[in-house]
Protein backbone atom coordinates (compact mmCIF):
# COMPACT_ATOMS: atom_id res chain seq x y z
CA UNK A 1 0.00 0.00 0.00
CA UNK A 2 1.34 3.42 -0.96
CA UNK A 3 2.28 5.65 1.93
CA UNK A 4 1.91 9.22 0.76
CA UNK A 5 0.46 12.57 1.76
CA UNK A 6 -0.23 15.99 0.29
CA UNK A 7 -0.05 19.16 2.38
CA UNK A 8 -0.72 22.77 1.47
CA UNK A 9 -0.06 25.69 3.79
CA UNK A 10 -0.54 29.36 3.04
CA UNK A 11 0.23 32.17 5.46
CA UNK A 12 1.15 35.83 5.11
CA UNK A 13 4.79 34.69 5.10
CA UNK A 14 4.81 31.51 2.99
CA UNK A 15 2.88 29.56 0.38
CA UNK A 16 3.81 25.86 0.35
CA UNK A 17 2.56 22.85 -1.61
CA UNK A 18 4.14 19.49 -0.77
CA UNK A 19 3.61 15.89 -1.82
CA UNK A 20 5.48 13.15 0.02
CA UNK A 21 5.86 9.53 -1.07
CA UNK A 22 7.63 7.04 1.21
CA UNK A 23 9.40 3.78 0.29
CA UNK A 24 10.75 4.95 -3.04
CA UNK A 25 13.96 5.73 -4.85
CA UNK A 26 12.15 8.08 -7.23
CA UNK A 27 13.55 11.56 -7.16
CA UNK A 28 11.20 14.45 -6.54
CA UNK A 29 11.45 18.12 -7.30
CA UNK A 30 12.34 20.59 -4.56
CA UNK A 31 12.09 24.35 -5.05
CA UNK A 32 12.23 26.57 -1.98
CA UNK A 33 14.09 29.48 -3.52
CA UNK A 34 17.03 28.66 -1.22
CA UNK A 35 19.72 26.78 -3.15
CA UNK A 36 21.63 25.26 -0.24
CA UNK A 37 18.42 24.15 1.48
CA UNK A 38 17.17 22.56 -1.77
CA UNK A 39 20.44 20.60 -1.90
CA UNK A 40 20.14 19.43 1.72
CA UNK A 41 16.47 18.39 1.30
CA UNK A 42 17.41 16.43 -1.82
CA UNK A 43 19.99 14.49 0.22
CA UNK A 44 17.50 14.01 3.09
CA UNK A 45 14.93 12.60 0.66
CA UNK A 46 17.38 10.33 -1.17
CA UNK A 47 18.78 8.72 1.98
CA UNK A 48 15.29 8.56 3.51
CA UNK A 49 13.91 6.81 0.42
CA UNK A 50 11.33 9.52 -0.03
CA UNK A 51 10.11 11.41 -3.03
CA UNK A 52 9.41 15.04 -2.11
CA UNK A 53 7.55 17.27 -4.55
CA UNK A 54 7.88 20.68 -2.93
CA UNK A 55 7.17 24.20 -4.03
CA UNK A 56 7.69 26.84 -1.36
CA UNK A 57 7.44 30.57 -1.89
CA UNK A 58 8.39 32.67 1.11
CA UNK A 59 9.31 36.17 2.18
CA UNK A 60 12.97 35.76 1.26
CA UNK A 61 13.28 39.53 1.13
CA UNK A 62 13.07 39.33 4.95
CA UNK A 63 15.22 36.19 5.30
CA UNK A 64 14.96 32.42 4.86
CA UNK A 65 13.66 31.64 8.36
CA UNK A 66 9.94 31.50 7.63
CA UNK A 67 10.38 29.45 4.46
CA UNK A 68 12.61 26.85 6.13
CA UNK A 69 10.57 26.55 9.34
CA UNK A 70 7.28 26.29 7.45
CA UNK A 71 8.79 23.67 5.14
CA UNK A 72 9.67 21.68 8.27
CA UNK A 73 6.09 22.05 9.51
CA UNK A 74 4.62 20.87 6.20
CA UNK A 75 7.05 17.99 5.74
CA UNK A 76 6.48 16.87 9.33
CA UNK A 77 2.70 16.90 8.92
CA UNK A 78 2.99 15.03 5.62
CA UNK A 79 5.27 12.38 7.17
CA UNK A 80 2.92 11.86 10.11
CA UNK A 81 -0.07 11.57 7.75
CA UNK A 82 1.73 9.21 5.34
CA UNK A 83 2.52 6.75 8.14
CA UNK A 84 -1.15 6.11 8.86
CA UNK A 85 -1.62 3.85 11.90
CA UNK A 86 2.12 2.92 11.89
CA UNK A 87 1.33 -0.78 11.84
CA UNK A 88 4.45 -2.88 11.32
CA UNK A 89 6.99 -0.04 11.34
CA UNK A 90 10.36 -0.61 12.97
CA UNK A 91 9.77 2.55 15.07
CA UNK A 92 13.43 3.19 16.01
CA UNK A 93 16.19 4.15 13.62
CA UNK A 94 19.80 5.25 13.95
CA UNK A 95 22.47 6.32 11.50
CA UNK A 96 26.01 7.60 11.79
CA UNK A 97 27.11 9.20 8.53
CA UNK A 98 30.50 10.67 7.59
CA UNK A 99 31.01 13.27 4.92
CA UNK A 100 34.75 13.46 4.39
CA UNK A 101 36.12 14.89 7.68
CA UNK A 102 32.65 15.55 9.20
CA UNK A 103 30.48 12.99 10.96
CA UNK A 104 26.99 13.11 12.52
CA UNK A 105 24.75 10.73 14.43
CA UNK A 106 20.95 10.79 14.27
CA UNK A 107 18.52 8.70 16.32
CA UNK A 108 14.77 8.57 15.63
CA UNK A 109 11.82 7.23 17.60
CA UNK A 110 8.47 7.39 15.81
CA UNK A 111 6.86 7.74 19.20
CA UNK A 112 3.77 9.89 18.62
CA UNK A 113 5.47 12.57 20.72
CA UNK A 114 7.34 15.44 19.13
CA UNK A 115 10.72 16.12 20.71
CA UNK A 116 13.99 17.50 19.34
CA UNK A 117 17.51 17.46 20.78
CA UNK A 118 20.68 18.78 19.18
CA UNK A 119 24.17 18.32 20.61
CA UNK A 120 27.38 19.42 19.01
CA UNK A 121 29.12 22.44 17.64
CA UNK A 122 27.04 25.60 17.51
CA UNK A 123 25.60 26.19 14.07
CA UNK A 124 25.74 29.97 13.91
CA UNK A 125 27.67 30.88 10.77
CA UNK A 126 26.78 31.41 7.13
CA UNK A 127 27.17 29.10 4.16
CA UNK A 128 26.98 31.62 1.34
CA UNK A 129 23.71 33.32 2.42
CA UNK A 130 22.31 30.32 4.34
CA UNK A 131 22.17 30.81 8.12
CA UNK A 132 23.40 27.56 9.67
CA UNK A 133 21.00 27.83 12.61
CA UNK A 134 18.12 27.31 10.16
CA UNK A 135 19.08 23.63 9.89
CA UNK A 136 18.04 23.27 13.52
CA UNK A 137 14.85 25.27 12.95
CA UNK A 138 13.93 22.90 10.13
CA UNK A 139 14.53 19.72 12.11
CA UNK A 140 12.77 21.06 15.20
CA UNK A 141 9.67 21.98 13.15
CA UNK A 142 9.81 18.63 11.35
CA UNK A 143 10.10 16.57 14.56
CA UNK A 144 7.32 18.37 16.40
CA UNK A 145 4.90 18.16 13.48
CA UNK A 146 5.81 14.58 12.54
CA UNK A 147 5.31 13.66 16.21
CA UNK A 148 8.66 11.93 16.39
CA UNK A 149 11.56 12.08 18.81
CA UNK A 150 14.67 13.23 16.93
CA UNK A 151 18.16 13.39 18.44
CA UNK A 152 20.97 14.85 16.33
CA UNK A 153 24.57 14.81 17.47
CA UNK A 154 27.12 16.53 15.28
CA UNK A 155 30.23 14.60 16.23
CA UNK A 156 33.02 16.49 14.48
CA UNK A 157 34.01 18.27 11.30
CA UNK A 158 35.60 21.40 9.89
CA UNK A 159 33.96 22.12 6.55
CA UNK A 160 30.56 23.75 7.14
CA UNK A 161 28.99 22.27 4.01
CA UNK A 162 30.18 18.79 4.98
CA UNK A 163 28.82 19.16 8.52
CA UNK A 164 25.31 19.95 7.29
CA UNK A 165 25.47 17.29 4.60
CA UNK A 166 26.34 14.61 7.17
CA UNK A 167 23.41 15.76 9.35
CA UNK A 168 20.83 15.68 6.55
CA UNK A 169 22.03 12.33 5.17
CA UNK A 170 22.07 10.75 8.63
CA UNK A 171 18.59 12.12 9.39
CA UNK A 172 17.17 10.68 6.19
CA UNK A 173 18.75 7.27 6.73
CA UNK A 174 17.72 7.05 10.41
CA UNK A 175 14.18 8.07 9.48
CA UNK A 176 14.00 5.41 6.77
CA UNK A 177 15.19 2.73 9.18
CA UNK A 178 12.49 3.81 11.65
CA UNK A 179 9.54 3.98 9.23
CA UNK A 180 10.49 0.81 7.31
CA UNK A 181 8.05 -2.07 7.62
CA UNK A 182 9.48 -5.02 9.56
CA UNK A 183 8.43 -8.65 9.71
CA UNK A 184 5.61 -7.95 12.12
CA UNK A 185 2.18 -6.45 11.52
CA UNK A 186 1.85 -5.16 15.06
CA UNK A 187 2.09 -1.59 16.23
CA UNK A 188 5.45 -1.44 18.07
CA UNK A 189 4.23 -0.12 21.42
CA UNK A 190 3.17 -1.74 24.66
CA UNK A 191 0.30 0.77 24.63
CA UNK A 192 -0.94 -0.60 21.32
CA UNK A 193 -0.88 2.82 19.70
CA UNK A 194 1.73 5.32 18.55
Give the CA-trace dihedral at 78, 115, 167, 127, to 10 degrees: 90
CA dist 17 and 6 (Å) reads 8
Residue 186 lies in a domain: no
Residue 187 lies in a domain: no
Q: Which range marks the domain in which residue 111 is found?
A: 4-179
Residue 35 lies in a domain: yes
Residue 129 lies in a domain: yes
Residue 192 lies in a domain: no
The pTM is what?
Answer: 0.96
Residues 86-96: what's their mean pLDDT? Answer: 96
pLDDT tops 80 at residue 47: yes
What is the percentage of the chain residues whose pLDDT exceeds 90?
92
Residue 191 lies in a domain: no
Residue 190 lies in a domain: no
Residues 153-170: what's their mean pLDDT? Answer: 98
CA dist 2 and 132 (Å) reads 34
Residue 189 lies in a domain: no
Contact criterion met (CB below 8 Å) for 7 and 74: yes
How many Cα neighbours within 13 Å face the side chain of 113?
Answer: 7
Task: Report the CATH number at residue 160.
Answer: 3.30.230.40
Q: Total structural domains in the chain?
A: 1
Residues 182-186: what's their mean pLDDT? Answer: 81
**Each residue's pLDDT tens digit, 112-141:** 999 999 999 999 999 999 999 999 999 999
pLDDT tops 80 at residue 184: no
Amino acid sequence: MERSAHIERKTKETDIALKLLLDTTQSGNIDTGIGFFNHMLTLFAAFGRMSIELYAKGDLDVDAHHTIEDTGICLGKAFQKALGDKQGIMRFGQAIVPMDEACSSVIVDISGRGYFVYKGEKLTGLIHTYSEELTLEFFKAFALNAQITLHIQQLYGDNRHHIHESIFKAAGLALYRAYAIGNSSIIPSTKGVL
